[in-house]
């Protein structure tokens, strides 16, 4: 990437917050990931912490300089890479509850090259894991060792599980390999696929119930009606949970009715419709 692109981006940032559109647009050709040089420059700077994202405007990231956004006392802290990796590993482990080395690294993307070509990222991660106080355990069916925070081990049995539809971007299911390992559920976001190639739908929302992924829904909205264009129930005993989650999702978008268009297995369609009355 040309140096003058970075210079132009930095110059525009000096005048105030910007989006990629302010420096020529986010894409150089049709397609989701055909980023322009300006967008790539912004993302490189973002990955290095030289710019921050303060908000989104119509899905567009708004970039700004850290000194205009981050409190001075935080910005003044001079943390080493070792300090950062230790803190981020601890936060990731606590958030995940249990995770492999790969899971913990993926939570904050601690291994990608854009973090710094001069950093030995693998060493930093391994040293942070060794110094974290996490307990290493084996999990039946997992090919890699896992790490658990001691507080999680001593917390006792979990309480009542939440029943809800999850966004495809929810951190619980974002790491697709981990989702399959944890829940035996193969999940893919099909919004970027041509319509004819979609299996589950445009914006599939998994159903979390009883600590398991018990089904999924492809949602839409028709006026004041929440529409389940395609619904799949993996566990027949979760029928009431699905009905409850559909009502909750309808309330999120200010709908007062729910309509189910297709269901799998087909026999649950009439039962779900009765449960929603």
Name the token pair of 169: 């971007």
Mean pLDDT of 73-77: 92
CA-CA-CA-CA torsion sign (101, 104, 106, 111): negative
Q: Is the pLDDT of residue 104 over 60?
A: yes
52: β partners:
64
Sequence-ordered alpha helix ranges (H) in 34-80: 37-48, 66-69, 72-75
End-to-end CA gap in the chain: 58
Q: Is the pLDDT of residue 109 over 80?
A: yes
Q: Is the pLDDT of residue 86 over 60?
A: yes
Q: Assign 2 a pLDDT band (cuts: 50, 70, 90).
A: low
Q: Assign 248 a pLDDT band (cuts: 50, 70, 90).
A: very high
- Mean pLDDT taken over the chain: 90
Separation between Cα atoms, residue 141 and residue 145, nearest integer Å: 10
| CB 198, CB 169: distance < 8 Å | no
Q: Is the pLDDT of residue 41 over 70?
A: yes
Write out pLDDT tens, residues 119-169.
Answer: 899 999 999 999 999 999 999 999 999 999 888 888 877 777 889 999 999
Per-residue pLDDT, 47 = 83
Name the token pair of 104: 């913990």
Q: Assign 96 a pLDDT band (cuts: 50, 70, 90).
A: very high
Per-residue pLDDT, 175 = 92
Q: Is the pLDDT of residue 71 over 90?
A: yes
- Among the listed ranges 154-163, 165-174, 208-217, which one has the minimum average pLDDT value? 154-163
Q: Assign 1 a pLDDT band (cuts: 50, 70, 90).
A: low
Q: Is the pLDDT of residue 32 over 60?
A: no
Mean pLDDT of 180-188: 91
Per-residue pLDDT, 203 = 93
Q: Is the pLDDT of residue 221 over 60?
A: yes
Mean pLDDT of 84-98: 94
| CB 95, CB 171: distance < 8 Å | yes
Per-residue pLDDT, 31 = 60
Mean pLDDT of 260-272: 93
């Amino acid at each position: 990437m040309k140096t003058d692109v970075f210079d132009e981006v930095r110059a525009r940032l000096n005048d105030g917050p910007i989006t990629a559109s302010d420096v020529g647009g986010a894409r150089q050709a049709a397609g989701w990931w055909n980023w322009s040089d300006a967008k790539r420059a912004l993302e490189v700077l973002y990955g290095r912490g030289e710019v921050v994202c303060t908000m989104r405007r119509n899905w567009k990231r708004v970039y700004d300089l850290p000194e205009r956004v981050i409190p001075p006392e935080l910005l003044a802290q001079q943390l080493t890479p070792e300090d950062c990796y230790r803190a981020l590993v601890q936060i990731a482990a606590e958030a995940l509850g249990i995770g492999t080395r790969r899971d913990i690294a993926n939570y904050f993307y601690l291994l990608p090259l854009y973090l710094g070509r001069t950093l030995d990222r693998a060493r930093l991660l391994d040293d942070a894991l060794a110094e974290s106080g996490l307990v290493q355990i084996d999990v039946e069916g997992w090919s890699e060792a896992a790490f658990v925070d001691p507080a999680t081990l001593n917390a006792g049995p979990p309480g009542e599980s939440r029943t809800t539809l999850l966004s495809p971007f929810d951190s619980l299911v974002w790491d697709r390999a981990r989702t399959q390992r944890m829940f035996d559920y193969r999940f893919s976001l099909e919004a970027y696929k041509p319509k004819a190639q979609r299996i589950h739908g445009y914006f599939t929302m998994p159903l979390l119930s009883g600590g398991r992924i018990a089904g999924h829904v492809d949602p839409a909205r028709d006026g004041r009606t929440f529409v389940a264009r395609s619904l799949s129930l993996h566990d027949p005993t979760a029928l009431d949970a699905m009905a409850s989650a559909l009502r909750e999702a309808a309330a999120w978008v200010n709908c007062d009715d729910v309509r189910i268009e297709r269901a799998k297995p087909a026999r649950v369609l009439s039962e779900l419709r009765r449960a929603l009355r």
